[in-house]
Structure 1
Amino acid sequence: MKIDDYELLLKLKEVGTIRGTAKAILISQPAVTQRLKYIEEYFGEPVFIRTSKSLVLTPAGQMIMEHARKVVEGEKAIKNMLAQSSGEVQGSLSLACSSLVSQRFLPSILGDYTNAYPKVAIDLVTGISEDIKREHKNYHVCIIRGEKLKDSVSELLFEDPLYMFDTEPFPTGQMKKRPLISFKSDDSMHELVDNWLYHHQDQINPIKMLHVDQIETCRQFMQEGLGMAVLPKSVSDSLMAYYPHIPLILDGQPVTRDTWVCYQEGVRKLPQVDRFLSAILDKKFL
């Protein structure tokens, strides 16, 4: 059994389907099926029961999964100890990052980092901040949007002001009635927008809601004139010269979507983690 096989088992348990796992790790579905067949033959026991909806662990599978978790954690631990004792920056960097930050800022940060430290292996997961928060202890570093993690060291990277955009003007002293386009995000983002709308219901009346999956789709729908959209400055600064927009203000203060870098106490003892944190904390974002 290779370490990759144990990691595959953990990913299958996390995702719950062979198809979803294949998509997540970027290999074909038959390849995942074949590797799972090899693992079950190796242990001589079925790991999962295949149902129409998901994979369900067998009693033997539960024991095998616990063993897989210990093997993967042990592998990471020894690599970290070796990296810490070495004079050279190497080892692995486990990173979970908000989708927006990973699209807008992370490529250049990781490009510079991997050029400086080519022996560091990057283990990257991107997604919605709420999902990352639930699994934050599985990563060296988390970059999240919204509220900071309370049981971690959290440092503010930047405050991202929110703006409402439309292809039609925002009239002064008149009610604006337009559809509102929203994108998939965590609850804290929706709460910011809902709270602002509540305090401005005499000015803005969303006549219907259009829900899309990604922020880029939301932006394109707005540009096509399908309705209003609330977008952070980090992805909308190029639109400001071309489309009517207003800042979201409450009690005289801009409504912002804060971005945090979070990590566990003591993790900076690992050179590869310390160098990454130094690089991202020194960066000017907005």
Structure 2
Amino acid sequence: MKIEDYILLLKLKEVGTIRGTAKQILISQPAVTQRLKYIEGYFGADIFIRTPKRLMLTPSGEMILKHAALVVEQEQSIKNRLAQSSKEVQGTLSIACSSLISQRFLPEILGEFTSHYPKVAIDLVTGISEDIKRDHKNYHVCIIRGEKLKESTCVHLFEDPLYIFDTEEFPRDKLKERPLISFSSDDSMHELVDNWLYHHQNDIKPLKTITVDQIETCKQFMQQGLGMAVLPESVSKWMKEEYPHIPLKLNGKAVTRDTWVCYQEGVRDLPQANQFIEALINRTFL
């Protein structure tokens, strides 16, 4: 058994389907099925019962999954201790990062970091901040949007002002009725937008909401004239010169999204994690 096999079992339990797991770990569904059959053959027991909706653990599977969690934890623990004992910055650095930050800022940050510390192996997961918050203890460093993690040490990185864009002008003395294009994000982002729209319902009225998966798709839909879109400055700064827009404000104060770097107690004892956190804290984002 490889450590990757134990990680696969834990991911199957977390996601609940072979198809969903294959999508998350970026390998084919048949490959996941084949690997699971090998693991069950290795232990000589069925680990999951396949139902139409999701995988269910068998009694044997429950014991095997507890063992898998322990193996993965011990593997990471020894890697951390080895990294701490070494004078050279090396080892694995596990990062969970908001999709927006991973698209806009992370490639450059990681490029600079790995050029300085080439022996550090990066283990990266990107996604919606709410999902990252739920599994935050699985990572050395979390970069999230919205509210900070209460159970972690969090350092504020930057405020990201929100703007509403359109290909059509925003009239001052006339109700603007247009579709609103929304991208997949965590609830706190949608709450900010809904609250602002509520307080400006005499000025702007969304006719309907078009929901897309990625922020880049949202931008392209807006640019094609399909409707309005609320976008953070971090991904739309250049657009302000080309498209009509207004800043989101309530009571004269800009509506913004906070970005945080969060980590558990003791993580900064790891040289690779400490150096990466320092790189984030000392960076100018906007």
Specify the TM-score bucket, using the shorter chain as the normaliser: over 0.9
Tell me the equivalent position of 1:125: 125
* CA offsets 1:240-281 (integer angstroms, 9 cap, x no match): 111000000111111001111111122101101001001111
Match in the other structure for 1:266: 266
Amino acid at match of 1:28: S
Q: Which residue of 2 aligns with 1:240?
A: 240
How far apart in 1 are the matches of 2:177 and 2:14?
43
CA distance in 1, matches of 2:195, 2:30: 48
| TM-score (ref. length: structure 2) | 0.97
Question: Which letter does structure 1 place at the counterpart of 2:135?
Answer: E
Over residues 149-198 of structure 1, what are the superposed CA-to-partner deviations in whole Å (9 max), with x where a residue is unaligned? 11211111110000000111011122111111111111100111111111
Question: Mean alpha-carbon deviation: is it higher for 112-121 or for 156-165?
Answer: 112-121
Gaps of 5+ in 1: none
Please name the residue that 1:27 is paired with. Answer: 27
| Matching residue's letter, 1:279 | A
Question: CA shift at 1:30, angstroms?
Answer: 2.2
Partner residue of 2:275? 275
Identity of aligned residues (%): 74
The alpha-carbon deviation at position 90 of structure 1 amounts to 1.2
Is 1:203 the counterpart of 2:206 in the alignment? no
* 1:182 partnered with 2:167: no
Cα-to-partner distance string for 1:7-42 (whole Å, 9 max, x where unaligned): 111111112222222222222222222211111111
Deviation track 1:118-142 (CA, whole Å, cap 9, x = no partner) reads 2211111110001111111111110
What is the rounded CA distance, in whole Å, between the counterparts of 1:77 and 1:22 in structure 2?
Answer: 27
- For residues 26 and 117 of structure 1, the distance between their equivalents in structure 2, rounded to whole angstroms, comes to 26
5 Å-filtered alignment, 1:72-83, equals 72-83=72-83
Matches within 5 A, 1:77-116: 77-116=77-116
Counterpart amino acid of residue 261 in structure 1: V
Name the residue aligned to 1:193.
193
After superposition, where does 1:117-156 map in structure 2 within 5 Å?
117-156=117-156
> How does 1:13-24 map onto structure 2 within 5 Å?
13-24=13-24
- 1:213-249: per-residue Cα shift (whole Å, max 9, x none)? 1111111111111111100001111211110000001
What TM-score does the superposition give when structure 1 sets the normalisation length?
Answer: 0.97
Alpha-carbon distance in structure 2 between the residues aligned to 1:26 and 1:222: 30
For residues 91-124 of structure 1, what are the alpha-carbon distances to aligned partners after superposition, in whole Å with 9 as ceiling and x for unaligned? 1111100000001100111111112112211111
Gaps of 5+ in 2: none
Q: Does residue 162 of structure 1 match 2:162?
A: yes
1:171 counterpart SS class = coil
SS in 2 for 1:275: helix
Instruction: Number of aligned residue pairs: give it.
Output: 286
Distance 1:19 1:134 in 2: 21
User: Match for residue 2 of structure 2?
Assistant: 2
Q: Which moved more, 1:184-193 or 1:208-217?
A: 208-217
State the distance in 2 between where 1:165 and 1:279 align: 32
Distance 1:199 1:227 in 2: 20
